[in-house]
């Protein structure tokens, strides 16, 4: 049986109580909103992309401990990374959050099949035992993905 300690690890509560990189960025930084219609959580991701590098990232909005902590940790690992590095990290994180699905489908996975070190983010691994909360953990990440796609579409059209 999953226990609350798996979900609410100290590092998660720390990021929830003291979120990193909270705030807004002025244009031309890109602004992208994400919603979880289930619980009403919303996250706003501000990204300043210069020379294919995420120079600055800020988070706005409101939500539960899992969504806020995940967003906070995301900003720490993503800031300063190139777009391709960021995409690898996003992929690795989503893969970690997909363990439940993999278990259901019977596929073997150790949860960290990619070589990326997710650091503190691995504390979120316990979330997969609470399937309803996976969307909380991935909200900021999906919004960041959308943000990067939108920026690249704008760049392509220039």
Partner 1 sequence: MTIDVTEIKKDFPVLQRHINGKPLIYLDSANTSQKPVSVMDAMEDYYRQFNANVHRGSYQLANEATAILEGSRDKVTSFINANSRQEVVFTKNATEAMNLISNTWGREHLTDGDAIVLTELEHHANIVPWQMLASEKNFEIRWIKIDDNGHLDLSDFDQLIRGAKLLSFAAMSNVLGTFTPVKELTSRAQEMGLTVHADASQYTPHTKTDVQDMGIDFLTFTGHKLLGPMGIGVLWGKESLLESMPPFLGGGEMILNVTKEGFSTNELPWKFEAGTPMVAEAAGLGAAIDYLSDIGMDEIRNHEIDLTDYALQCLVSEFGETMSIFGPKNSLERGGVISFTFDGAHPHDISQVLDEDNICIRAGHHCAKPLMQVLNVGATSRVSMYLYNDRSDIDALVSGLHKVRDLFIP
Residues that bind partner 1 (CB under 8 A): 1, 4, 7-8, 13, 17, 38-42, 62-66, 68, 130, 133, 136
Closest CB 146 distance from partner 1, rounded Å: 20
Distance CA 22, CA 59 (A): 5
Quickly tell me which residue has 């300063």 as its tokens.
Answer: 80
**C-beta of 86 vs 128, nearer to partner 1:** 128
Distance CA 71, CA 48 (A): 16
Closest CB 110 distance from partner 1, rounded Å: 27
Closest CB 62 distance from partner 1, rounded Å: 5
Closest CB 136 distance from partner 1, rounded Å: 7
Distance CA 126, CA 149 (A): 29
Closest CA relative to residue 86, chosen from 15, 141, 11:
141
Contact 71, 19 (CB under 8 A): yes
**C-beta of 48 vs 70, nearer to partner 1:** 70
**C-beta of 41 vs 49, nearer to partner 1:** 41
Closest CB 140 distance from partner 1, rounded Å: 15
Distance CA 109, CA 107 (A): 6
**C-beta of 27 vs 37, nearer to partner 1:** 37
**C-beta of 102 vs 125, nearer to partner 1:** 125
Closest CA relative to residue 127, chosen from 98, 106, 102, 105:
98
């Amino acid at each position: 049986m999953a226990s609350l300690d798996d979900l609410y690890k100290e590092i998660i509560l720390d990021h929830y109580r003291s979120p990193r990189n909270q705030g807004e960025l002025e244009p031309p930084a890109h602004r992208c909103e994400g919603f979880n219609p289930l619980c009403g959580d919303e996250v706003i991701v501000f990204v300043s992309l210069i020379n294919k590098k995420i120079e600055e990232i800020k988070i706005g909005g409101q939500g539960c401990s899992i969504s806020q902590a995940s967003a906070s940790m995301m900003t720490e690992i993503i800031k300063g990374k190139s777009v391709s590095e960021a995409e690898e990290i996003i992929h690795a994180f989503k893969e970690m959050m997909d363990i439940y699905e993999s278990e259901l489908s019977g596929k073997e996975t150790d949860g960290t099949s990619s070589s990326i070190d997710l650091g503190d983010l691995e504390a979120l691994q316990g979330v997969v035992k609470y399937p309803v909360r996976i969307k909380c953990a991935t909200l900021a990440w999906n919004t960041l993905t959308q943000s990067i796609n939108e920026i690249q579409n704008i760049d392509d059209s220039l």
